[in-house]
Structure 1
Amino acid sequence: MDQLSRVLDEMRLPNGAYVASLSRDYSHVWIRDVCYTVLPYLNSPCDRYEKAYHALLDLFRRYEWKIDIHTSKRPVHLFEYIHARYSTDLKEIDQPWGHAQNDAIGVFLWGAAQGVRHGKNIIRDEKDRGILEKLTRYLACLAYWDHPDNGMWEENMEVHASSMGACVAGLREVSLLVDVPEKWIRRGEAALNRLLPRESETKETDLALLSLIYPYGVVNRGTARSILTDVAGKLERTFGVIRYAGDRYYNGGAEAEWCFGFPWLGLCHAMLGERDKTLEYGEKTNRILPDDGRVPELYIGGTDRPNGNTPLAWAVAMVMLLHRHLTAETPVTSGIRTEKGNLEEL
């Protein structure tokens, strides 16, 4: 575990944020990746979690003028959206990109509220609280519940269940810190229920759907089991989990196999209280874990070779999270919704 933490520290910047990887292609700061990368420190006495969120809050404060515009005027062009990735000094990168990523804003809101709940000093002043409130209005202005976005994988524009789920989770959690009209949450829940168990119109199932179980816990047990059955049955491979059928990214004759898929499946089963399955995916994770802890992004499809985005901070963090759960250092205790919609603590 110390080794994995040291690997993450190699990707930590002086401002508290993290680059996605040490590779040339991924030497940028993604909002989503930072939020997932610091999850292992949510219950830790160290300041890595809050420093990362302070860095992201500072980023949003720098571009508050853009957020202000789009709390009342929906973006038209991709560059008008809150950007999904930034330079290491947390400035926008002047390059075309799929910046319509509603889930990045949802996970940030969720993570900020989780930090407060766990005693972290996330909100430094009323300016920070104001940023959180404006981000909720940004999602409402987008009408995130029926708004096509680029999704977790930054690809084609369509309505994604994983993006809606992140926004629902974020709005629910942050409603303890700022005022969030209930209708903004209910519209998202209704739209999400209509789309599930599909990820989108073009994707029957997708690795991104696991986020609805862990970390968000926004689906009931029946839906969670359906998602897990589909992902494991249709997407699981030797070195990890493919993102979706027909994925062309690093396709070397077959879809690329993403390493964080195994620990993510394990964490989802932990949320359901299924110890045997959690252990099973712990063993699968250990089989692909390099001795130096530098977990790759993926194995190139049809090969036994990792790609150059090694280590991937998000993947290292997911391995840490599953290991801590299995060793009871930090057990997964978030609730999964029952069929009646109540939260049941594990």
Structure 2
Amino acid sequence: MNINNAIEVLDRMRLPNGAYTASISKDYHFVWIRDVVYTVLPFLQSQSDRYEKAYHALFELFKTYEWKIDIHREKKPVYLFEYIHSRYSTDLKEMSQEWGHAQNDAIGAFLWGVGVGVSHGQKVIRDEKDLAIVQKLVDYLECLQYWQAKDNGMWEENMELHASSVGACVAGLRAVKMLVNVKNELIQKGEETLRFLLPRESETKETDLSLLSLIYPYRIVERKTALKIVEMVSESLERTNGCIRYQNDQYYNEGSEAEWCFGLPWLGLCYFEMGMHDKAYEYVNKTVRIVPDNWEVPELYIGGKNVPNGNTPLAWSVSLSYLFLNRMINMPSSQLTGND
């Protein structure tokens, strides 16, 4: 398996404006803020300009809708279309279609990516106008009272208070507090919510694949909670071709829940983050099994059918698979014992 094929696949999904389409399929030929954040993680520490160009594209997107951010720094959104959207056309325009637009995690993810990018020497911030957008997004989360705000969550579904959304916002606010003004209490309120909610994802979901984000890439939970999250996800949600997002998920469910391919490398990355290298290594073969030679990793395997859906390749799947396998390949073999 040539791991560098992953980068070629991602480059095919890279748009002239620097952002990435979630997939080249008809259904997913759109730009999701969250997907872009995860898609460019392989380039965070590279010399290429892919990371910063992707964020420059997202900054341009936010500038187009700056008037909307300005309104909702002062006044909470009421209707879904009033929220800052998380999905756009490939030329970075809002879609008119009804959607679960209230996705606070996407805003948190963007802020996190900006802060982490700057700390890794990426020229993500170009000028004062970019910094002003960062400040306005912080103000937007404050106006929303994100720590107690119901949203559609990472999977764009029913409105409830999601630990993964609150956690993304906490991570984002922490990451940009050196760049703009972030009140300490704004972060503390989110942390209090997480202490109350975790290890649950929400009132209706005991566990959820999205909780892995709090371990990787955000690293915002303590070890005891992280262990509980990976234990619950691997025991309840892990399957052969990936992980289900949560129990009774109806998306692409044709007899059972769909198996999302990126769940396997994501679990591996989480174990790696926790220093549990032997456990992480168990996910190498599991991940290799779902990565085809051409590196066009699918979104998911249709539940009950054991075949990939049409959203192949999914940028996010390719990115997490590459990140995990690349990390494991480059790890000294001496680290593969006694780390559990």
TM-score range for the pair, normalised by the shorter chain length: over 0.9
Q: Which position in structure 2 is the counterpart of 1:32?
A: 34
Give the drift of 1:81. 0.4
* 1:193 alignment partner, SS class: helix
CA distance in 2, matches of 1:317, 1:297: 12
CA displacement, residues 260-289 of structure 1 (integer Å, 9 cap, x when unaligned): 000000000010001111111111000111
Q: Which position in structure 2 is the counterpart of 1:246?
A: 248
Q: Which position in structure 2 is the counterpart of 1:18?
A: 20
Q: Which position in structure 2 is the counterpart of 1:328?
A: 330
Q: Which position in structure 1 is the counterpart of 2:233?
A: 231
Give the drift of 1:327. 2.2
TM-score, normalised to structure 2, is: 0.96
CA displacement, residues 122-162 of structure 1 (integer Å, 9 cap, x when unaligned): 11000000000000000000000000000000000000000
Give the drift of 1:302. 1.3
Among 119, 122, 141, the alignment partner of 1:120 is 122
Counterpart AA for 1:322:
F
TM-score, normalised to structure 1, is: 0.94
Q: Which position in structure 2 is the counterpart of 1:196?
A: 198
CA distance in 2, matches of 1:156, 1:327: 39
Within 5 Å, give how 1:126-205 maps onto structure 2. 126-205=128-207
Counterpart AA for 2:134:
L
Among 92, 105, 108, the alignment partner of 1:106 is 108
Within 5 Å, give how 1:245-324 maps onto structure 2. 245-324=247-326
CA distance in 2, matches of 1:144, 1:78: 15
Q: What is the RMSD of the two structures over their aligned residues, measured on CA atoms?
A: 1.0
Structure 2 residue 54 is matched with structure 1 residue 62:
no
Q: Which position in structure 1 is the counterpart of 2:338?
A: none
Give the drift of 1:329. 7.7
Q: Which position in structure 2 is the counterpart of 1:75?
A: 77
CA distance in 2, matches of 1:329, 1:31: 31
Unaligned runs of 5+ in 1: 331-346
Counterpart AA for 1:144:
Y
Q: Which position in structure 2 is the counterpart of 1:340?
A: none
CA displacement, residues 28-62 of structure 1 (integer Å, 9 cap, x when unaligned): 00000000000000011000000000000000011
Q: Which position in structure 2 is the counterpart of 1:333?
A: none
Unaligned runs of 5+ in 2: 333-340
Counterpart AA for 1:319:
S
Q: Which position in structure 2 is the counterpart of 1:335?
A: none
Among 78, 95, 98, the alignment partner of 1:96 is 98
- CA 1:88–1:177: 2 relative to 1, 3 Å: same
Give the drift of 1:2. 1.6
- CA 1:329–1:34: 2 relative to 1, 3 Å: farther
Counterpart AA for 1:41:
F
CA distance in 1, matches of 2:329, 2:138: 37
Give the drift of 1:80. 0.3
CA distance in 2, matches of 1:135, 1:318: 26
CA displacement, residues 298-341 of structure 1 (integer Å, 9 cap, x when unaligned): 000012200000000000000111022112289xxxxxxxxxxx
Counterpart AA for 2:172:
G
CA distance in 1, matches of 2:250, 2:174: 35
CA displacement, residues 159-212 of structure 1 (integer Å, 9 cap, x when unaligned): 000000000000001001111000000000001110001000000000000000
- CA 1:115–1:28: 2 relative to 1, 3 Å: same
* 1:324 alignment partner, SS class: helix
